[in-house]
Homo-oligomer: A and B are copies of this chain.
Amino acid sequence: MGGGFGGLNASRALRRAPVRITLIDQRNHHLFQPLLYQVATAALSPAEIAEPIRGILRSQQNVEMLLGAVVDVNPAGRRIRLDDGEEIVFDYLVLATGATHHYFGRDDWATLAPGLKTVEDALEIRRRFFLAFERAERSPHPEERSALLTFVVVGAGPTGVELAGAMAEIARRSLRRDFRRIDPTTARIVLVEGTDRVLPGYPPELSARAEADLRRLGVEVRTGTMVTELKEGVVRMGEDSIRAATVTWAAGVQASPLGGRTGTETDRAGRLLVEPDLSLPGHPRIYAIGDLSLFLSEEGEPLPALAPVAKQQGEHTARNIVRQLNGEPTEPFTYRDKGSMATIGRGAAVAVLGGRKITGFPAWLAWLFVHIAFLIGFRNRLLVFIQWAWSYLTWQRGARLITGTAAVPARSEDALSADPDPAGREG
């Protein structure tokens, strides 16, 4: 996105360049997506991982920020068009519009199994997850209860693993004593993955360790399993099917459709193929970075869709633009891989740092440290640290709200009845 890791870092790296920058984003905030699953699982509030873009760029006088959407790109005419018809002529263009969910051609699944890319997505997943327990508490039918207490996460990349682990911890620990009619610790959390192991982008030993950690938390891991059909309350996987009221999608990612507007080549996931200097083939002054682009490493492998990739590409692109302004040739991009990490639950994570594989408590501590360090803003770091410390000590979650219109059946009534005769209550 314009205000994601790629665009924001490109803008900041151009702060001393003799350019006028227009940053366009349809959100007013930069979102720290690596922690978004913590909003979905009520550990953090949205504002703790989001920072207004205007605030970040306040003192950078050569940037103008516009809240809006780019609907078209005209590479030959060097113009982009915004949603309200405004046209902007550019000399250099950096496309950093990121990616969205991909349902493998089944867009009708989107409402049945929300993905996790925006604050709204996270709040919707939070709402569905906690509402399922409330509905189970009120359901008189054992079968319905068990479907309400079954949660399926599709896709076992870092997001899917982190979601499933957090959901299991909430059901087993945070909610343990909160209900009277149901036992939340009986909830089933099912993690479905199409490939043969969880965290397929990681070394196999770490996948094995992550799977063991997940099973220890009570997550049912089903690898080598594809979701073949989704219906309200039912997940079908080939011959098998599960009754589950709540399904979350962490499987497919599709680059934002703007890539297709440039007329240059994209891969099946819609990512723009870029030159070694990150520019588009035939358009040396148009760059595509981050999740929107497909950059092949020297080994011919695509770079992963990670924040550090987008960040480094943004900074590299800024340097290339300065080179072009100075009449110098651009330089090819190389990714400095400092590592990657995924957390499974309290005290459990896997990481590759500087080529070393780390697991368990040390990996978890490293994960905490890195994620706090990369948050923008001292206030957010302090708040997230407090939330985590509090959660660690109490096993509770700080943001366990069910909000959103569908949380409210109707603008109707609440009451409290005190009943000295236990037999008096009717079902």
Tell me the A residues contacting B by CB distance below 8 Å.
1-3, 7, 10-11, 14, 17-29, 42, 45-48, 50, 52, 54-55, 58-59, 64-71, 73, 80, 83-84, 86-98, 100, 119-120, 123, 130-131, 134-135, 137-138, 175, 177-181, 256-258, 321, 325, 379, 382-383, 386-387, 390, 396, 398-405, 407-422, 424-427
Task: Offer 29 A-B interface pairs, CB within 8 angstroms, sorted by A.
Answer: A2-B415, A3-B414, A11-B416, A19-B418, A21-B418, A24-B416, A27-B402, A28-B402, A45-B46, A45-B47, A47-B398, A47-B400, A54-B175, A54-B178, A67-B134, A68-B409, A69-B408, A70-B415, A71-B410, A71-B412, A71-B413, A89-B425, A96-B414, A96-B415, A96-B416, A120-B403, A120-B404, A120-B408, A123-B403
Residue of B nearest to A23 (CB): B416
Contact, CB under 8 Å: A402 / B68: no
Residue of B nearest to A92 (CB): B418
**A392–chain B nearest beta-carbon distance, Å:** 12
Q: How far is the CA of A2 from the CA of B91 in the complex (A)?
A: 60
Q: How far is the CA of A95 from the CA of B416 in the complex (A)?
A: 6
Contact, CB under 8 Å: A417 / B22: yes
Contact, CB under 8 Å: B19 / A70: no
Most buried by B among A18, A23, A383: A383
Q: A19-B420, A86-B427 are in contact. Are A414 and B178 (CB under 8 A)?
A: no
Contact, CB under 8 Å: B420 / A325: yes
Contact, CB under 8 Å: A1 / B414: yes
Stoichiometry (number of copies): 2
Contact, CB under 8 Å: A7 / B414: yes
A93: chain B residues at CB < 8 Å are 415-418
Contact, CB under 8 Å: A418 / B94: yes
Q: How far is the CA of A382 from the CA of B26 in the complex (A)?
A: 33
Contact, CB under 8 Å: B26 / A64: no
Besides A20-B422, A27-B407, A90-B424, 18 other A-B contacts (C-beta < 8 A): A20-B419, A20-B420, A28-B134, A28-B400, A29-B401, A45-B48, A46-B401, A47-B399, A52-B178, A70-B413, A70-B414, A87-B426, A88-B417, A89-B419, A94-B416, A95-B415, A97-B414, A382-B386
A134: chain B residues at CB < 8 Å are 28, 67
**A314–chain B nearest beta-carbon distance, Å:** 9
A45: chain B residues at CB < 8 Å are 45-48, 399
**A72–chain B nearest beta-carbon distance, Å:** 9
Contact, CB under 8 Å: B80 / A417: yes
Residue of B nearest to A8 (CB): B416
Contact, CB under 8 Å: B28 / A414: no
**A338–chain B nearest beta-carbon distance, Å:** 24
**A377–chain B nearest beta-carbon distance, Å:** 9
Q: How far is the CA of A413 from the CA of B399 in the complex (A)?
A: 30
Contact, CB under 8 Å: A425 / B20: yes
Q: How far is the CA of A426 from the CA of B71 in the complex (A)?
A: 16
Q: How far is the CA of A131 from the CA of B27 in the complex (A)?
A: 10
Q: A386-B379, A426-B89 are in contact. Are A416 and B2 (CB under 8 A)?
A: yes
A50: chain B residues at CB < 8 Å are 401
